[in-house]
Each structure stands twice: as C-alpha cells, then as structure tokens.
C-alpha cells in the first residue's frame, strides 16, 4: 500500500511508530517478570515472607494503582508540554522506581514503593504513546503501527519469561537472581527517553498550539517529502483542527458529554476493559502459577512452559501486525475472536474437571489443556491484544485526544489492577473454574462489539468526525482534492507558503 511521501518517509514512519512502542515493551517486561521472581527462593529469603498469595497480589496491584493514577491525569501534562517531553519525564520516573526495587533493602515496603513509583512512570508513558503514534502515523498503516504496542508488549513478556528461566537454572540462590531481571528494565526505558531527543514533536499537537511552521517541518521530516500528497495531508489536519475549534469554542468538561464524544469515551473504556476481561493479561502476570494448575507442581517445568507461551505470544502478534492488521476490519476481528476464546476456555474447564489431577509429570490431558491455552493466546494476539491500542487513539478528535487516550489507558490499568488483585485468590478458590469465568466475559464482549463498536479501518483521524456524527464533521475528500489542485497551500488563510 502506497504511503504519502518517499521510501525514506515510509522507513521513518515505521521506525518512529515502533520505536515509541518501547513503552509497550516495558509494560510487557514488567508484567512478565513478576510471576517468575515470585517463584525464586532467593526473593522469598531476601524479603522473609510466607503469604505468597498476598505478596504477589500486592506487588502487581500497587504498580497498577500508580499506573492508573498517572494515566488518568497525564493528559494535562501532555497537553501543556507536548508528547515527547512527557514520555521522557515518564521514563525518568520509571527508572527511579526500578532503583528503589533493586537496592538491597530487604524491605517489602521499599520494594512496594518502588513498584508504585515505577507504575506512575509506566502508566504515563503507555497513556501518551498511543496518541503520539496515531498523530504521526500515515492513515494507511496507523493500525499496524498502533498495534506495535501489543507486539512490543509481547516481546517484553517473552524476554522476561526467558530471563527468569535463565537466572533460575544458571545462577545460585542469591539476590542477583531476582535483581538482574528487575534491574534490566532501566535499559529500554533509558533508550526510549534518550532516543526521543532525535525525534520530532507531534504534528497535530504543534498545529493545535498554533506552531504551524514547526508542525509543517515535523510532517515534512516524517514523510521525507513536501510534495502535493503531503501538503494535502497537512491541509487536512489544519482544516480538521479549525472545524473542531469552530464547532466548540473554548474547551469545557461538558464537551465530553456531547453525544459523539460520550459515545467515543464509552467505547474507549470498553475496549481496554474488554482486553483485561479476556483473561490473557492475568495469564501473563501469573503464567507459572496458571500452568501449575494444568501440569502439576513443578516450578522449572512451569517456567519453561511460560517461556514458550511468551515466545508464541510474540510470534503470533508479529504475524498479525505485519500481514493482517490492515487487511481485516476491526469490528469483525474483535467479536469473532471473543467467541473463539470463550470456546477454548470452556474446553479447558471441561477437560480439567473430568480428568485426574496432574502430579509433577506431564499427562495427555495436561498437554491438551496447555495446547488450548496456547491456541487462545494466538487468537488473542490476532485481536484483543493489539487492536485496542490503535482503536482508542484514532477515534478521538485532536481536541480531546489527550483526555480520551488517558481515560482509555487508565481504564486498562484500573481493570489490570482489579484482575491482578483478585486472580490469585480466584485461582486458590475456584481452581480451573477461573477459565469458565473468563469464557463468560468473552461472550459478553462479543455481543457488545457486534452491536456497538464502529468500524474505523482505513479512515483518517479527521474522517472519524463523520463516522461518529460529530458537529465538527466536514467533507475530508473535498479538502484533499482542493489541496491537490493547487500548487501552494495557504496554512492559516494568510500568505504563508510551505517552506
């Protein structure tokens, strides 16, 4: 599919889109290390606790609380300071939290504080990156680039699983065994923070702030061209922002309650709520513990299966993003996959409840259940894993995109917190019936998607106003044609030529 600009512009679009998704890698890596280090005797010895269920629930949920708070409030900072600086500040806070976790304090309180502080940085970063990515991506590949958050999340999960497994079997029981996996998080956070110094600020954020010359330079750099198609894209952005401003002069909270915006906010909340309701994030957090339910109480075996689970996650979401993300519609992909995942979970529950309990050795039933979980994971990586990230960033107008994406991602962290807090207790109380619980949620999600979700594949951000029947809707095709028919575009209805 052709992109506006040049081959260099296409390279920059892909490189930028996937580079900022390093925030997704951090999210995934942090998610994956938790279940592993909780199985380490070195971690238990250093912190001297016995109630593993409570410690694991608090360890995960505290970070999610910090992430929820920062994701919900970060849009004010992002709106004032810009996307780039906000992400850089978020990564700095995240690194501070990691330092508090790895210092040899032997205090769970200090470790918990570190988790909370790291959560503040992680939540802010994951809330701003989708909007930043959507505002810079060509519409032809916006879904592919936005889905990169889930691909990099899967990469982070996979690497964390294998690092946990490697230090478990190669290092003696010592503090280094858990400090190495935790401390390595600072590397990608530092790369993202420093790397953004060489990247441009968001085109739409600059244009919204009236910094038209900088906005044009940013778009020109991203597309590596200043040809007619790029000028048309810039004029479309400019006219779209003007129409939004004309439709609602002076932002106020009641604007969020306008029918079109209220509908979008509810969809955004649902999308990330649904992502957590699939049960796959709970599996990512507590993979070793889940697989012990299926294959017996063998720590090394469950860690190995978890590592393979992470590898499958990364491979399948990569296949989806590279080959299918711009081929399939968002809506059918979501509701069909929810029904398929529900079917897989029901099969797992039935097999688990009708076969003997496994011991430390693998059984045919255990292998079959693990295979079904792997199949469910593949379905998730082709749908609910990657799609909420681009969808919730693309449906909002520039005027409320910061608020919309912040609400969406904070919802993700809120339900992440709830499910991570209760999942260990559900596993202890319900056993395999926890899979049936998630199957019921998947069926409910499929029904909601079928009746209420709007299709957005292949539409520009400005065309979303028409899809959601906004008062700021305008004829995007007419504006694009008008721009292509002239040699020079007037940026602000003044005599300002493109550089």
Q: Which residues of 40-75 are buried (b: 16+ CB within 10 A; e: fewer)?
A: bebbbebbeeeeeeebbbbbbbbbbbbbbbbbbebb
User: Which residue has better confidence, 429 or 343?
Assistant: 343
pTM of the predicted model, to two decimals? 0.73
**Element holding 318 (H helix, E strand):** helix 299-319
**pLDDT at position 253 over 80:** no
User: Which residue has better confidence, 427 or 497?
Assistant: 427
How far apart CA 434 and CA 14 sit, in angstroms, is 39
Q: Which of these ranges, 24-38, 204-218, 327-341, 358-372, has the smallest mean pLDDT?
A: 358-372
pLDDT for residue 481: 60
Phi and psi angles of residue 313, each rounded to the nearest 5 degrees, phi first: -60, -50
Where are the extended beta strands (E) located within 181-296?
A: none
pLDDT for residue 489: 43
pLDDT for residue 86: 96
Question: Exposure of 421 by Cβ count < 10 A (0-12 exposed, 13-18 middle, 19+ buried)?
Answer: middle
Max avg pLDDT among 45-49, 83-87, 228-232: 83-87
Q: Report the first-to-last Cα separation within the chain, whole angstroms.
A: 28
| Residues 34 and 409 sit within 8 Å (Cβ to Cβ) | no
**pLDDT at position 273 over 80:** yes
Using the 8-state DSSP alphabet, how is residue 357 labeled?
P
Where are the extended beta strands (E) located within 266-369?
A: none
What mean pLDDT do residues 328-353 have? Answer: 92
Query: If pLDDT is split at 50, 70 and 90, which confidence band does 240 have?
Result: confident
Question: Exposure of 487 by Cβ count < 10 A (0-12 exposed, 13-18 middle, 19+ buried)?
Answer: exposed
pLDDT for residue 246: 65
* Residue 341 tokens, joined: 């995942």
| Residues 400 and 204 sit within 8 Å (Cβ to Cβ) | no
| Residues 313 and 161 sit within 8 Å (Cβ to Cβ) | no
User: Which residue has better confidence, 267 or 150?
Assistant: 267
What mean pLDDT do residues 217-223 have? Answer: 92
**pLDDT at position 248 over 80:** no
**Element holding 270 (H helix, E strand):** helix 259-277
Half-sphere CA count of 209, side-chain side, radius 13 A: 17
How far apart CA 456 and CA 331 sit, in angstroms, is 8
Q: Any idea which residue has 């299709």 for tokens?
A: 455
DSSP string of 365-418, one letter each residue: HHHHHHHHHHHHHHHHHTTTTTTHHHHHHHSS-GGGHHHHHHHHHHHHHHHHHH
What mean pLDDT do residues 46-57 have? Answer: 81
| Residues 140 and 461 sit within 8 Å (Cβ to Cβ) | no
The C-alpha angle 313, 318, 319, rounded to 5 degrees, equals 105
Share of the chain above pLDDT 90, in %: 34
What mean pLDDT do residues 277-283 have? Answer: 81
**pLDDT at position 491 over 50:** no
Using the 8-state DSSP alphabet, how is residue 439 labeled?
H
What mean pLDDT do residues 383-399 have? Answer: 84
């Amino acid at each position: 599919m052709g992109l506006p600009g040049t081959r260099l512009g296409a390279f920059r679009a892909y490189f930028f889109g996937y580079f900022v998704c390093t925030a997704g890698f951090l999210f995934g890596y942090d998610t994956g290390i938790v279940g592993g280090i909780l199985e380490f005797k070195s971690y238990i010895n250093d912190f001297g606790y016995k109630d593993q269920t409570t410690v694991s629930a608090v360890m995960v949920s505290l970070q999610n609380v910090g992430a929820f708070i920062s994701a919900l409030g970060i849009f004010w900072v992002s709106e004032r300071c810009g996307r780039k600086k906000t992400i850089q500040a978020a990564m700095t806070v995240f690194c501070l939290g990691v330092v508090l976790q790895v210092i040899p304090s032997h205090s769970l309180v200090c470790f918990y504080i570190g988790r909370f502080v790291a959560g503040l940085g992680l939540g802010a970063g994951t809330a701003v990156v989708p909007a930043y990515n959507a505002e810079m991506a060509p519409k032809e590949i916006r879904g592919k680039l936005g889905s990169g958050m889930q691909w990099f999340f899967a990469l982070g999960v996979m690497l964390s699983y294998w690092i946990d497994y490697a230090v478990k079997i190669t290092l003696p029981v010592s503090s280094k065994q858990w400090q190495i996996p935790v401390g390595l998080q600072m590397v990608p956070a530092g790369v993202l923070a420093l790397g953004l110094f060489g990247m441009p600020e968001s085109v739409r954020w600059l244009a919204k702030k009236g910094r038209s010359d900088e906005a044009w330079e940013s778009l020109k750099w991203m597309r590596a061209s200043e040809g007619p198609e790029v000028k048309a894209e810039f004029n479309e952005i400019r006219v779209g922002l003007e129409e939004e401003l004309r439709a609602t002069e002076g932002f106020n909270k009641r604007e969020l309650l306008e029918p079109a915006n209220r509908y979008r906010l509810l969809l955004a909340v649902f999308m990330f709520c649904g992502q957590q309701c699939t049960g796959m994030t709970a599996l990512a957090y507590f993979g070793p513990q889940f697989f012990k339910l299926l294959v017996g109480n063998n720590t090394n075996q469950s860690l190995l299966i978890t590592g393979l689970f992470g590898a499958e996650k990364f491979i399948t979401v990569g296949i989806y993003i590279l080959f299918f993300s711009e081929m399939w519609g968002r809506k059918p992909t979501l509701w069909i996959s929810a029904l398929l995942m529900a079917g897989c979970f029901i099969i797992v529950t039935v097999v688990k409840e009708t076969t003997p309990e496994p011991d430390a050795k693998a059984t045919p039933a255990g292998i079959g259940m693990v295979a079904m979980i792997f199949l469910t994971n593949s379905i998730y990586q082709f749908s609910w894993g990657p799609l909420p990230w681009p969808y919730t960033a693309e449906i909002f107008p520039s005027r409320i995109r910061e608020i919309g994406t912040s609400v969406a991602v904070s919802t993700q962290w809120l339900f992440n917190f709830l499910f991570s807090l209760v999942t260990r207790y559900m596993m202890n109380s319900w056993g395999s019936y926890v899979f049936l619980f998630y199957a019921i949620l998947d069926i409910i999600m499929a029904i909601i998607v079928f009746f209420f979700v709007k299709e957005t594949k292949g539409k520009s951000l400005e065309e979303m106003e028409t899809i959601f029947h906004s008062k700021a809707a305008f004829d995007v095709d007419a504006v694009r044609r008008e721009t292509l028919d002239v040699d020079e575009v007037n940026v602000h209805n003044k005599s300002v030529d493109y550089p």
